[in-house]
Amino acid sequence: MRQAQAVRADPPAQSDAAGTLLNPRSIAIVGASDRSRWSSMLVQNLDATGFEGRLALVNPKGGTVHGRPAARSCAEIGAGIDLGVVVVPQDAVIDVVAELAEAGARSAMVLTSGFAETGEEGAERQRRLVETARARGVRLLGPNSLGFINLAENVFAWATPLRPLSRREGVGIVSQSGATALFLADLAHEQDIGLSHVIATGNEADLDGTVFLDYLVDHPATRSIAVFLETIRDPAAFIRSAERALASGKPLVALKVGASEVTARSAEAHTGALVGDDRVFEGICRQYGIIRVSSVEDLLVTADIAARTGMLRPGGLAVLSNSGGICEIAADRADACGLMMPELSGETSRKLRELIPGFGTPHNPLDLTGGIDPLRTEQIVRLIGGQEDYAAVLCPYYPVPSTPDQINERLTALHDGLSRGLKGLDIPGLLVSYTNAVVTDLTRSIVAKSDMPYHACGLDRALTALAGIARWSERKRSFAGRENVAAAVEGAGQGQAARPRSEHEALAFLAGHGVPVVPAHLVRSREEAAAAAAAIGGPAVVKIASPDIAHKSDIGGVILNLDGEEAVAEGFARVVEAARERKPEARIDGALVLPMRQGGLELFVGCSRDPQWGPVLAVGLGGIFVEVLKDVSLRLLPVSEAEVRRMLGELRGKALLDGQRGIPPADLDAVAAAVAAIGRAALSAGPELAALDVNPLWVRGDRVEALDAYFDWNAG
């Protein structure tokens, strides 16, 4: 198992290439014609948004295109080109990129499709495109891209119709799907969500999404990042970028497809993507504080709310509404999302009753009813938001008016009071519509006039977002960086002894790396078996010892709960006889005699090498939990003991670790130390290790032991 490399925190040099491409002062559209929908929309979008740079059009026939003169070649432009936009047929793309390079261009955006997403022939064409570009110092966005929108620097190099986007900071979007990027931009218009960038990376033949992710991490107008992923082409770069985003305090929200076999096939057909194991990616999201969502709407809404709230302090959520029903829904949904809703303190309740005589007993969530004096809402919000138990305050209320007939004096006063109260808090406060609401120019003007912290996304999406942001905030506070853990295994795998083949050798190997293991006696005769039983002094287990028999129970090679020297000696004879009958070709080293462990909890710990991500650690409860329910938590190796504690807390059956009838609570520190040591042992075994299973890892109180271990090695 190859040792993980330390992750650098400094931005990669390729981020400079992204900056040059995304902020050009001169653009040449090659292949422009009045019949080209792409070139027409590019020109319209750049003109409509007031692009201040120089825009040149290239058409082999020259003449007038889109109402302006066109050059016959890139060389004829006669001035520098920062960005070449390629909209020619696929067979001409490579020659055009070479021509752009000769004219001095250092960046090109290829909208043309028909490359790796179409199969082997297209993949070869894409390979030659990249080879041509790199040989000439040109960096590529695409092919099969719709372009980019740089709102922060006012470059709308996008090839389809766009709706107005007025707020030019907030969420930076990177999408491998152009249509999804366009939908997100449309949704931002509908919900009045601020964007800094929208980047459709297409096939990512040269510059991939992580390059633009790094760029957005460093961009001052980007406060959070939303990524739509069909695949991850450079896992190491993605991890580095995710760690940089976490360190910078910019929430990274991800929607990644590929959980199903159908989606994996579709992604490959779409962009030439090969989708990795979704369970591993889920573990990576938890490890690096990536907020994972399951819908396009949640992707943008979560990123928007995260951009406005930033990191939440430890604590729960306070909810205030004018509807008892909405309060009840909010409480149920918050619980389902994992959001705590601490009760109001006695002091807060007392002050509320003074503020609203006859109100009754206040609770969280707080139903203010429809009859509350709008002038008191500001005081109520500030009073509750001042309680230290809360990390955020959420107010689901009537939506901000979208038409003049919806405006009334009472609603305006109510919204103003809520807005002033929320903005006056030391913690984030959100005014959110009950359901997904319409946002019009009137809505935007009302919100802008009072700088209202308004979200038209509806209660459910707001709660989903806050839950993700709370998890990200906890990860941000606790994350120490993978590099610090990697230092603990520096030089691992060098000078190791021979590969452990048998269970006895496997347990010895683990013990040598600090893993607590069950005392095991390797015996080769009935007499040695009896002596081992005497040394154990209690019930014992006898297992066949052979490097060629992995599943010992299947051949009768394991006998449990043998008590006494004679019983153990007889057990030795039985397992050896069974092995010789059922596996005559197997090498027999003897048998293992081990003390019988009972009355504890069994865990499964596995280390394997994912073909995309590298060494991965899996932890779960044994038996039905791992075999049927697939209740496991995964991380990339190496991991710290603190990270293992987090993994244990993610298990659906985690309550069993708190103790059950006849079994004391598990010492989680001892468990975490053992699991982390197993991970280090796997890394130290070197790149030839395919998998290491410890099943079970027995736990009873503060006693932790590996009862069985199996190493699987790559051929060769």
How confident is the model at residue 12, as a pLDDT? 38
Indicate if 117 and 44 belong to the same structural domain. Answer: yes
In a 10 Å sphere around its CB, with 0-12 CB exposed, 13-18 middle and 19+ buried, how is residue 600 labelled?
A: buried
HSE value, Cβ hemisphere, 13 Å, CA-based, for 609? 18
Strands 429-433 and 454-455: what pairing?
parallel
| Phi, psi (deg, nearest 5) at residue 444 | -60, -40
Last residue in a domain, options 259, 274, 306: 306
Indicate if 579 and 641 belong to the same structural domain. Answer: no
CATH of the domain at 570: 3.30.1490.20
Indicate if 133 and 152 belong to the same structural domain. Answer: yes
- Total residue length of the chain: 716
Helix then strand then coil, % of the chain, to nearest 5: 40, 20, 35
CATH of the domain at 199: 3.40.50.261
Using a cut of 0.85, tell me whether the model's pTM lies above it.
yes
Tell me whether residue 578 is in a domain.
yes
Task: Report which of 430, 351, 447 is spatially closest to residue 390, judged by C-alpha positions.
Answer: 430
How confident is the model at residue 716, as a pLDDT? 61
Tell me whether residue 401 is in a domain.
yes
In this structure, the number of other CB atoms found within 10 A of the CB of residue 134 comes to 12
* Cβ contacts of 259-266, under 8 Å, gap ≥ 24: none
What is the DSSP code (8-state) at residue 78?
A: -
Indicate if 193 and 89 belong to the same structural domain. Answer: yes
Indicate if 214 and 327 belong to the same structural domain. Answer: no
What does the pLDDT look like over 8-59, one tens digit per residue?
334 335 668 999 999 999 999 999 999 999 999 999 999 999 999 999 999 9
How confident is the model at residue 637, as a pLDDT? 95
Last residue in a domain, options 306, 338, 366: 306
How confident is the model at residue 16, as a pLDDT? 85
Tell me whether residue 498 is in a domain.
no
**What domain count does the chain have?**
4
Indicate if 589 and 607 belong to the same structural domain. Answer: no
Tell me whether residue 1 is in a domain.
no
Indicate if 109 and 247 belong to the same structural domain. Answer: yes
How confident is the model at residue 259, as a pLDDT? 67
HSE value, Cβ hemisphere, 13 Å, CA-based, for 57? 23
Tell me whether residue 509 is in a domain.
no
Indicate if 430 and 347 belong to the same structural domain. Answer: yes
Q: Give the residue ranges of DSSP H helices in 219-345.
A: 235-248, 261-271, 278-287, 296-309, 324-337
Return d(Cα 236, Cα 244) in angstroms, integer: 12
Indicate if 561 and 575 belong to the same structural domain. Answer: yes
| Phi, psi (deg, nearest 5) at residue 58 | -125, 125
Tell me whether residue 488 is in a domain.
no
Contacts of residue 212, defined as CB under 8 A and 6 or more positions apart, other chains included, come to: 18, 22, 174, 197, 199, 201
Boundaries of domain holding 74: 14-306
Tell me whether residue 506 is in a domain.
no
Indicate if 436 and 531 belong to the same structural domain. Answer: no
Asked if 302 and 469 count as a contact pair (C-beta separation under 8 A), the reply is yes
HSE value, Cβ hemisphere, 13 Å, CA-based, for 68? 14
How confident is the model at residue 479, as a pLDDT? 87
Indicate if 315 and 299 belong to the same structural domain. Answer: no
Last residue in a domain, options 281, 306, 331: 306
Tell me whether residue 142 is in a domain.
yes
Residues in the chain with pLDDT < 70?
A: 1-15, 259-276, 359-360, 370-371, 480-497, 716
